[in-house]
Structure 1
Amino acid sequence: MPPTSAPEDGTTMGVEEEFLLACPDTGAAAPRGPQVLARLGDTYDASTPGAGPRAELLQTMVESATGVCTGLTQLHHHLTTARAHLAATAVGSGTRLLATASPPLPPTSPRSAITGTEHYAEMHHLYGALTIDQEICSCHVHVGVADRDTAAAVLNHLRPWLPTLLTLSSNSPYLHGQDTGYASWRTVSLSRWPSVRTPPYFQDSDHYDRALQDLRRGGLLSDSSDAHWLARISSHLPTVEVRVADICHTVDEAVLQAGLTRALVRTSLHHIAEKRRAPEVSDTTASAALWTAARHGADGPALDPVTGDLVPAPQRLEQLFTHIELAATETGDLEHLRHLAHRVRTGGTGATRQRQAHSSGGPAHLIDLLTQQTAAEGPTWKRESPDTRAAADRVTR
């Protein structure tokens, strides 16, 4: 039987977004991160801990983080405001802000320099050329949990659903002017790193910490680094951090990613309270499911990590909505999330729209689309007609 009340945790959420900076004339990646951040200065509300812009590994990228949010409307506002602020500052610094998970056009200058922090210097020393090739942008979703043992158990329950989150966010079909044939080339690029994969199955937080220590002892992580798993326990926040998604093309898609992640965490908390054991998906099948999601996105087959069967991607999405229905209803998000998922299914993922733009107008049209959609507020749920909302509900049932 489902619990009669919602979990006390799994309510708060926050999002970190990584963006590519591009030359306004050529669309090629531009190493203007330090200039953009210097121009921003201390312009974010200090009363919102952790929120605001920050440097990324390469100088062709910048990151922005929201504050802690409790609702999707609040999160939408945080994301829209941050993107608009960054985009305007980028223009003032002679560049464009692009929400794409890989650089779509060839570079016109030597490789981007690594940002000069001690942490990034450690990464370059340990991983070498992998850091230079890390010109990829992600979306990270944090969801609050009560303690580390609970967080470790939540990770086990999240493992089968990480590929589905990836399919919805897939937004990196191009690399340096070439169509990769993948919906998420970022995922393929990340797979070269020694620990960027679905997290192992953990017995408890001590098991998690031992696995982390094994990576450090084996030279795969520096002493100051977190695990690079696609879902992990945050080392500096009381959250589970889900890192599987490409940077989302639009604010609405980022809200969808965060809302689904929160609903998955809350569903996990219900199942943990009921002492339901998470499916023990094999590491091999988990990797295969991620690869399938990266290859096809939402337009092809999906591999169910639990059964090992190939199913249509829309069917796997419907299974996700069935799985989270109670948790999303508790927070009042279910109808909103169905609507946003419907928009992706009918309008295509970021990868699909990038290909359509390139096909219709070439590289210049693609860069213009990315520029416009990155900071556009776009249509919101409340602006849609009842008929459109009803159609969305039917599509995702």
Structure 2
Amino acid sequence: MVDPVTRRTAPYADFVLKQVGRLPAGARVHPELLNTQVEFATGVCQTVDELRGQLAAGRAELKAAAGREKLGLVSSGTAVLSGADVHLTAGARFERIGDIYQGLVEDYQVSGCHVHVGISDRDTAIAVINHMSYWLPTLLALSANSPFDNGRHTGYASWRMIQQSRFPGSGLTPWFGSAAEYDHFVDQLVDFGVLVDHAMTFWLARPSPRYPTIEVRVADAAATVDEAVQQAVLTERLVRYALAELDAGREAKPIGDQQAKAAVWAAARHGINGPAIDLRSGRPVPARQLLTELTDLLGLPPVHPRPRVTGHPVAVVDALMEDL
């Protein structure tokens, strides 16, 4: 949420959420970690048209709710301009997060576009994630829209991902052979005191701790409905491709830890218009080449990334308010 006069973030999530009226069936709004953020989640969608409709309706209602409080709303990976009185949302779990991570979360105004794809068997979900990991940096590069850090242009396409990388257990999900192995590893991180609970990991894909789904949270919050739909379609098709590979008896090979970190960093640094790392071959390639190879692999038409708004931070906020 932003003040439409100063364009700085506004700490009034509670007020805006109380103004939200009718939402699509199954959709919900939530508070987020900080009091400048709100989250919208669609219900379960069976078609692209249904998803697009729910996203458009939900964004419109949140925008109207913010307007009733004389506020603006933007969707981006980081806050372009930060305002005053930013603090953690009230609640025991948020307080626990603040206690563990201290200064890392005091101004952690980052937002992602999360996509859930239904898979009820958790062992299958783990095997699918192993396959997906090769392509998650490409989805990040495509989505990257957060170059600003409180008015400062960082030089990164996704500063959100750089901020997130400071937390334990971030980046691509390690290779696991089963859901039990995954659960044991997460339980260890909780026992070590570096995660709040089993529901909190920072990996870019995971079996959802709440739903019978794979949850992919690699993308920056999408500026537009079309870009959110694009991420959902690519993610769903990538899951479908991984399932076909498993049906054919082809398991994914583990990715080296440093190669995985390098690929995520390159995607965050350069976005879709720069160099990237092909985790299949271990070679540097243009990010757009990987995007073309991904869409070909998934049987989708070519994706033409929308140019990012650049320039003065105030102009960027204005453009983002229009994009919503």
Q: TM-score, normalised by structure 2?
A: 0.97
Task: Give the paired residue count.
Answer: 324
* Residues 267-302 of structure 1, C-alpha deviations (whole Å, 9 max, x = no match): 111111111021321111011000000000011111
CA distance in 1, matches of 2:313, 2:148: 11
State how 1:204-353 maps to structure 2 within 5 Å: 204-223=178-197, 225-325=199-299, 334-335=300-301, 338=302, 341-342=303-304, 344=305, 347-348=306-307, 353=308
**Alignment match, 1:180:** 154
Please tell me whether residue 36 in structure 1 is matched to residue 16 in structure 2.
yes
* Residues 95-122 of structure 1, C-alpha deviations (whole Å, 9 max, x = no match): 1110111111243x24x12111121111
* Residues 15-46 of structure 1, C-alpha deviations (whole Å, 9 max, x = no match): xxxxxx111100011101000011126x335x
Please tell me whether residue 53 in structure 1 is matched to residue 21 in structure 2.
no
Give the partner amino acid of 2:15.
Q
Superposed displacement of residue 53, structure 1: 0.8
CA distance in 2, matches of 1:36, 1:224: 30
**Contact 2:115–2:215 (8 Å) recurs in 1:** yes
Superposed displacement of residue 368, structure 1: 1.4
**Alignment match, 1:76:** 52
**Alignment match, 2:313:** 363
CA distance in 2, matches of 1:290, 1:80: 30
**Alignment match, 1:387:** none
Superposed displacement of residue 146, structure 1: 2.8
CA distance in 1, matches of 2:105, 2:129: 27
CA distance in 2, matches of 1:244, 1:59: 23
* Residues 214-270 of structure 1, C-alpha deviations (whole Å, 9 max, x = no match): 111111112353322110000110000001100011110110100000000001111
State how 1:55-204 maps to structure 2 within 5 Å: 55-107=31-83, 109-110=84-85, 112-204=86-178
CA distance in 1, matches of 2:87, 2:147: 24
CA distance in 2, matches of 1:324, 1:144: 18
Question: Among residues 298, 301, 309, which one is paired with 1:354 in the alignment?
Answer: 309
Give the partner amino acid of 2:53.
H
CA distance in 1, matches of 2:198, 2:179: 19
Superposed displacement of residue 322, structure 1: 2.5
Name the SS for the 1:284 alignment partner. helix
Larger C-alpha radius of gyration, 1 or 2?
1
Give the partner amino acid of 2:192.
G
Name the SS for the 2:171 alignment partner. coil
- Unmatched 5+ stretches in structure 1: 1-20, 326-333, 375-397
Superposed displacement of residue 128, structure 1: 1.1
**Bigger proportion of residues as helix:** 1
**Contact 2:123–2:178 (8 Å) recurs in 1:** yes
Name the SS for the 2:174 alignment partner. coil
**Contact 1:173–1:354 (8 Å) recurs in 2:** no
Name the SS for the 1:53 alignment partner. strand
CA distance in 2, matches of 1:236, 1:223: 13
**Contact 2:127–2:251 (8 Å) recurs in 1:** no
Name the SS for the 1:98 alignment partner. coil
CA distance in 1, matches of 2:232, 2:275: 23
CA distance in 1, matches of 2:82, 2:90: 24
Q: Which moved more, 1:70-79 or 1:231-240?
A: 70-79
Give the partner amino acid of 1:52.
R
CA distance in 2, matches of 1:126, 1:173: 27
CA distance in 2, matches of 1:224, 1:320: 32
Superposed displacement of residue 133, structure 1: 2.5
Query: Share of identical aligned residues, percent?
Result: 41
**Contact 1:145–1:240 (8 Å) recurs in 2:** yes
**Contact 1:119–1:224 (8 Å) recurs in 2:** no
**Contact 2:114–2:216 (8 Å) recurs in 1:** yes
* Residues 56-80 of structure 1, C-alpha deviations (whole Å, 9 max, x = no match): 0000000000011111111111111
**Contact 1:230–1:242 (8 Å) recurs in 2:** yes
**Alignment match, 1:379:** none
Superposed displacement of residue 363, structure 1: 3.3
CA distance in 1, matches of 2:251, 2:23: 43
CA distance in 2, matches of 1:288, 1:127: 24
**Contact 1:184–1:297 (8 Å) recurs in 2:** yes
